[in-house]
Amino acid sequence: MEQLCGILNIKKEAGFTSHDVVAKLRKLLNLKRIGHTGTLDPEATGVLVICLGQATRAAQYLEAVSKTYEAELVLGITTATEDWTGEVISSSHVEIEAGELEEALAKFRGNIWQVPPMYSAVHYQGQRLHQLARQGKVVAREPREVTIHKLELVSFQKPNLAKLYVECSKGTYIRTLCKDVGAELGTGGHMGKLVRLSAGGFTLQDAFTLEEVEAAAEAGGIQQLIVPLGKALSHWPKLLVSSAQEKLISHGCGLQTDLTGMVRIEAADGRLLALGSCEAGVCRPVRVFC
């Protein structure tokens, strides 16, 4: 089934790593080229965007789209992993009002700096940080700039449990956001349950469980669950080319256009030929599929 190409919107359950999901789908669909557009922690649930076949070549563009989450913030307790699964490092009494929490959240909207957690997949001198963390090692990490587009207090259950809505850029650690908000309040804090509501333009309401994908594959209906890459990138402008121009695209040649920025280059019959970058009147293919 290597001819499969497109996007599967998976509803990840708790207890699976993102790698586990990819491995299960690779075996189920008999695919070599398969990947995801952003890791979810093992106990986190929600949208996991899976790229199939040649769609893996566009993963970085889907990953660049902002993600949304619903997260629990537990104040008064800090953990080694910055979430509820980790060893408790400290605990303190919490006595704050919703207004104080709102004031603290306001400081984390917009462009902020985060230090990646030790329990993360970030590389350090050839090893992932979580591998070092499990060896009891802590190393210095460079802060990274991320963008918090929206950060809203959904509910606050006194004394210490808040539910947050977060819309953020690629590379944002919600665990670290919760830890930092707790530090700002002086109480400490960690992340409880986490649900990814959307990623890459895909939403939880339209996601499929692994069981549903397996049932569709057994019934020969897997194509009905796969979103074509062109549709997944439908928020990009479309550059329609003639049959004569298809050959130019296949060889990586540029085309004249009035469009600017990233575009999807399509044939008259709707086939996605390439992804292009347009600048100064010329569109050059950056990912060719034809």
Helix (H) or strand (E) holding 61, with range, is helix 59-63
Residues of the chain with pLDDT under 50: 1
Q: Which residues contact 159 (CB under 8 A, 6 or more apart)?
A: 75, 76, 94, 95, 96
Tell me the C-alpha distance between 182 and 180, whole Å: 5
Q: Which residues contact 227 (CB under 8 A, 6 or more apart)?
A: 6, 7, 8, 9, 202
Q: Do 10 and 161 form a contact (C-beta atoms < 8 A)?
A: no
Which pTM was predicted?
0.91
DSSP strands (E only) in the chain: 6-12, 34-36, 45-52, 67-75, 77-79, 88-91, 110-114, 123-124, 127-128, 144-157, 161-168, 189-199, 202-203, 238-240, 255-256, 261-266, 272-279, 282-288
Q: Do 163 and 152 form a contact (C-beta atoms < 8 A)?
A: no
State yes or no: cis peptide before 159, omega within 30 of 0.
Answer: yes
Closest CA to 82 of 208, 169, 188: 188
For helices 18-29 and 210-218, give the axis angle rounded to 10 degrees.
0
What per-residue confidence (pLDDT) applies to 108? Answer: 98
Tell me the C-alpha distance between 194 and 67, whole Å: 13
What per-residue confidence (pLDDT) applies to 290? Answer: 58
What per-residue confidence (pLDDT) applies to 170? Answer: 92
Q: Which residues are catalytic?
A: 41
